[in-house]
């Protein structure tokens, strides 16, 4: 399908219109940002890897009955997706202590949680995506009660399926971010699922294989992304 005018450009992707008003083309970029855009750089072939990994994981989730905006992978960097109206609430699922949770709670990174923690963040770059709760979502009309409850239920199902799939490939799903959108009255999983949006550790060595290598100047960023792609999608 041919892409038409550019509708939106974000930190990681460009969204294009198509001849079908219900479908968009997502173009995955190599640009890398961290700390809400305060740190910027480039990760070689990141867009190709994130597109491929996201496509495979969306396909896997569909096999578990979880609907998403994904339709098909069009090229190395392009994905055809249903045109959803994004709900301005980012959902973070945490299975282990890491990142901001370690700082907020004064806990050691790597501690396994007895159950998954679900957090909500208001999707607004100008405000640095502040953490919110269900009451904020309802009072400020970010989503209806039915919508946010569905989002939570689906997010936990995604966590279960994704954790099992990745663990079978020697990857720990430490935590990850999801976005959702509405499509003709249905709630669909949207955005992407990749090393940009997930903390992924080798389950034996606890080596970080995600964007934390870029955030924390750990080096071998491209190698980590390639390793995730190899394990998730097969030989490159």
| Beta-bridge mates of residue 182 | 85, 187
Go through 170-191 and write b for each residue having 16 or more CB atoms within 10 A of its CB, e for each that does not. ebbbbbbbbbbbbbeeebbbbb
Please tell me the predicted confidence (pLDDT) of residue 32: 84
What CATH code is assigned to 85-220? 3.30.470.20
Map out the domains of the chain as residue ranges. 6-82, 85-220
Please tell me the predicted confidence (pLDDT) of residue 122: 98
In contact, 229 and 49? CB cutoff 8 Å:
yes
What is the mean pLDDT for each group of 10 consecutive residues in the chain (236 residues)?
Answer: 92 96 97 74 92 98 98 97 98 97 96 98 95 98 98 98 98 98 97 97 97 93 96 82
Give 162-197 pLDDT, tens digit per residue: 999 999 999 999 999 999 999 999 999 999 999 999
Please tell me the predicted confidence (pLDDT) of residue 37: 63
Please tell me the predicted confidence (pLDDT) of residue 171: 98
Given this structure, which CATH class describes domain 6-82?
Answer: alpha beta
- DSSP label of 109: T
Q: Is the pTM of this model over 0.85?
A: yes
Place of tokens 């090393």: 195
Give 68-85 pLDDT, tens digit per residue: 999 999 999 999 999 999
In contact, 142 and 49? CB cutoff 8 Å:
no
User: 6-82 and 85-220: same fold?
Assistant: no
User: Residue 41 — φ and ψ, nearest 5°?
Assistant: -175, -165
CA distances from 23 to 80, 169, 172, 203 (A): 7, 32, 33, 38
């Amino acid at each position: 399908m041919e892409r038409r005018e550019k509708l939106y450009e974000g930190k990681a992707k460009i969204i294009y219109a198509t001849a079908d008003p219900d479908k968009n083309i997502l173009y995955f970029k190599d640009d890398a940002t961290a700390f809400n855009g305060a740190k910027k750089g480039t990760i070689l072939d990141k867009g190709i890897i994130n597109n491929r990994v996201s496509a495979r994981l969306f396909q896997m989730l569909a096999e578990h009955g979880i609907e998403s905006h994904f339709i098909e992978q069009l090229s190395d960097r392009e994905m055809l997706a249903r045109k959803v109206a994004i709900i301005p609430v980012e959902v973070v699922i945490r299975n282990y202590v890491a990142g901001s949770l370690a700082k907020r709670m004064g806990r050691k990174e790597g501690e396994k949680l007895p159950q998954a923690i679900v957090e909500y963040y208001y999707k607004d770059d100008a405000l640095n995506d502040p953490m919110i709760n269900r009451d904020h979502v309802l009072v400020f009309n970010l989503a209806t009660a039915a919508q946010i409850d569905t989002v939570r239920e689906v997010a936990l199902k995604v966590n279960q399926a994704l954790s099992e799939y990745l663990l079978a490939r020697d990857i720990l799903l430490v935590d990850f971010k999801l976005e959702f959108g509405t499509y003709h009255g249905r709630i669909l999983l949207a955005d992407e699922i990749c090393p940009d949006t997930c903390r992924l550790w080798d389950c034996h060595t606890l080596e970080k294989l995600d964007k934390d290598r870029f955030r924390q100047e750990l080096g071998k960023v491209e190698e980590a992304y390639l390793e995730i792609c190899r394990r998730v999608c097969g030989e490159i």
